[in-house]
Structure 1
Amino acid sequence: MLDDLAVLVGRESPSADLEAVAASAGVVAEVGEARLGVRPERIVIEGRTHLRWRLGDGPPRVLLLGHHDTVWPIGSLAGHPFSVADGLVRGPGCFDMKAGLMMAFHAVAALPDPSGVTLLVTGDEEMGSPTSRVLVEHEASGCAAALVLEASADGGALKTARKGVSLYEVGVHGRPAHAGLEPERGVNATVELAHQILAIAALPDAARRTTVTPTMLTSGTTTNTVPGSGRFAVDVRVRDAAEQRRVDEAMRALRPVLDGSRLEITGGPNRPPLESSASAALFARAVVLAARLGLPEPARAAVGGASDGNLTAGAGTPTLDGLGAVGGGAHADDEHVVVAELPTRTALLTALTSDLLAGPPPTAAPRRTAEPARAPRGDCP
């Protein structure tokens, strides 16, 4: 397992570098083929490379989902080389989430019969899955369950709920003027932005753990000019679909305060929430199977960050996330994986996959996507 992980971490794969992601996909395909005995389909969408294994002749039943892109730029290995010491693996992307990919390969390889398993490895999750979203939703919609190999929460907890994400940009169009000679002739975009920021800052609901956060802001051109335009971004995190709709309606209802100014609201819901109802049956199965294996009872966690598990749950597929590595430091200099947890977590993944292949499907989650998923066309040699 460590040898395979060393190979995966050793190929850097920053999301924005299409050549690096393509090269990484080649390495992932080689490691996966060596363990599974099957070559994956290589799906290229808008230059981004994804891999799909559909195993056996039967219909898809269980989706194992991960990504091979990382946030680490080319050259990161020089300062953070792959290493195994003091019971920890270190290296860029080891925790998020190349260890999860390695675990998926070994878990599926341990199945007596993997028929009905689909393993999907995407190459743009860290960017918000711009090209793989439809692919993920399509694969999930044909399965009884989705098991997401993202890294665990603190202490190895499985992720049974994730907040949904909405992303907006608020643009203001005012009128420029000389700030010293005739500022009264202008319509100050910065002042209008301030009004809108204060209005948006009133939208969070602490009781429901809804956050609405104005983030990056730009306005104006020079220090002696009334700003004629400006814009800022808004990050929204919600625990349920009703809150996502409420905030979206409030964003669409914003109106300018200054005479002569105009607003332009773009963006919207990016990922639906992974609500606990989508994971409850799968988590219960995991608890039972862990006991049979003599493993500690898994803990559960609700987290604010999103993953492709939000998309599978939104497609109506029961979803359990955080089944990957135990460790910490995702996206940070101290990124690491606990070596001793790798075989036990992989054994649990094998048992859960086998149980799902043999047993009745979990109760479906409510479908959140607005349109039916469509399979993207890709380059599939």
Structure 2
Amino acid sequence: MPSAAQNSAARNSAAHTIENLLPSAEERLEQMIADIQRLVEVETPSEDRAAVAAGAAETAALAADRLGTMPERVVVEGATHLRLRFGPDKPKVVLVNHQDTVWPIGTLARKPFSRDGEALRGPGVFDMLTGVVMSLHAAAILQAAGHDLTGLGILITGDEELGSQTSRELLLEETAEANAAFVMEGALDTSLKIARKGTSMYTVAAHGVAAHAGLEPEKGVNAGIALGLLLPQIEALGDSKLGTTVTPTVLAGGVTDNTVPDYATVEVDARATTVAEQDRVDREIRELTSPRQGARVEVVGGINRPPMERSAAEGLFAQAQQVAAELGIGEITGAEVGGASDGNFTAAAGVPTLDGLGATGGGAHAEHEHALVKNIAPRTALLAGLIAGNLD
């Protein structure tokens, strides 16, 4: 059992660590911005496996530069992910990141990395390359201060924007023994995400009968009309009182302009705050039938991410508020949001999870994507404090 003197020394050491985190992060700010630019300028659209692999190589090199350790490269079904562990065992604290983006190759040519004084801009700068750099520098700050990083893991995946189809098992394996998962997604303000809706993704198809639109349209069954009649039914599966949304999005159908279409589809985005609501929507969308005589409905897809319920974040959120107060960086509030992340998976697996620790800014997946410079250092210091507090 530690002596009273040892306990006192540990408290003094922790206080000293907290005291120096913000100045250390501020000293690193220009280097962090240069590192963000380094990653932004390697375009990594999720669907392009070669591009994601190139981005992973650059990210791994950056990690080695900042931390002196090369991450392990993990390739699953052609998608490249990075895993960095400090120590031989499964980590107790995991920083959850992704370096794939929604932006196609060539975006950088018209939308290069830039800094206008207040904001950083460029494809993926907010979602979520700034968060990746913050992860590496938070660990580096502690390392430089002599903090033992044994038990820390940093995961940087390459298919989060596709639903983490190849990285989900890796994520759950890496966090299986963790007492904290910190998800480096961005936030619109200085709040942290303490709850997220679960997501489901479907393709609803209407099958009809093709016919010549001019000679004998009466012999066809128009799949486009059948699908159109289904759209209000699909939307009605939502429940605003419970926060459930079911949204038809991408529509497609038809082959030629003189043919009655025999096939039409709609992509459906469904989000819910509880597992029960996810299950209800899943059941009811599969029970849809067409009001158009002769048409048939097919539904493929299903539940992708379970909800991240508030209970998973409450303990870590209280810690974050305390660390923020000790750092003097202002009040930290909690937000419940509709968007999903890999935090949904870790929370559903019973791992304490706090999300939204990355950049502040906005415009994820949009032309005005940006990360605010003023909050990069304070939030990196906050992350470092949370890591230290959960490794001790």
Please say if residues 13 and 69 of structure 1, whose CA atoms lie closer than 8 Å, have aligned partners that are also in contact: yes
Shift of 1:123: 0.9
Identity level (%): 52
Please say if residues 278 and 319 of structure 1, whose CA atoms lie closer than 8 Å, have aligned partners that are also in contact: yes
Aligned partners of 2:47, 2:253: CA distance in 1, in Å?
27
Aligned partners of 1:22, 1:329: CA distance in 2, in Å?
25
Structure-2 change in CA distance of 1:55 and 1:77 (3 Å):
same
Q: What pairs with 1:1-381 in structure 2 (closer than 5 Å)? A: 1-111=32-142, 112-152=147-187, 154-358=188-392
Paired amino acid for 2:273? R
TM-score (norm 1): 0.88
Alignment correspondent of 2:16: none
Aligned partners of 2:138, 2:204: CA distance in 1, in Å?
46
Aligned partners of 1:116, 1:243: CA distance in 2, in Å?
37
Structure-2 change in CA distance of 1:261 and 1:330 (3 Å):
closer
Please say if residues 167 and 270 of structure 1, whose CA atoms lie closer than 8 Å, have aligned partners that are also in contact: yes
For the aligned residue pairs, the C-alpha RMSD in angstroms reads 1.8
Shift of 1:248: 0.6
Structure-2 change in CA distance of 1:88 and 1:191 (3 Å):
closer
Gaps of 5+ in 1: 359-381
Paired amino acid for 2:172? E
Aligned partners of 1:26, 1:130: CA distance in 2, in Å?
21
Paired amino acid for 1:147? F
Structure-2 change in CA distance of 1:80 and 1:227 (3 Å):
closer
Aligned partners of 1:216, 1:58: CA distance in 2, in Å?
45
Paired amino acid for 2:208? G
Aligned partners of 2:217, 2:137: CA distance in 1, in Å?
68
Q: Deviations over 1:168-196 (max 9, x none)?
A: 11122222234454444333323322332
Aligned partners of 1:104, 1:293: CA distance in 2, in Å?
18
Please say if residues 156 and 327 of structure 1, whose CA atoms lie closer than 8 Å, have aligned partners that are also in contact: no
Structure-2 change in CA distance of 1:278 and 1:180 (3 Å):
same
Bigger Cα displacement from structure 2, 272-281 vs 326-335: 326-335
The alignment of Structure 1 onto Structure 2 pairs a total of residues equal to: 357
Structure-2 change in CA distance of 1:268 and 1:9 (3 Å):
same
Structure-2 change in CA distance of 1:194 and 1:75 (3 Å):
closer
Paired amino acid for 2:109? A
Shift of 1:15: 1.6
Would you tell me which structure has more helix in proportion to its own residues? 2
Alignment correspondent of 1:377: none
Please say if residues 212 and 234 of structure 1, whose CA atoms lie closer than 8 Å, have aligned partners that are also in contact: yes
Q: Secondary structure at the match of 2:265?
A: strand
Structure-2 change in CA distance of 1:223 and 1:73 (3 Å):
closer
Aligned partners of 2:222, 2:33: CA distance in 1, in Å?
59
Structure-2 change in CA distance of 1:199 and 1:114 (3 Å):
same
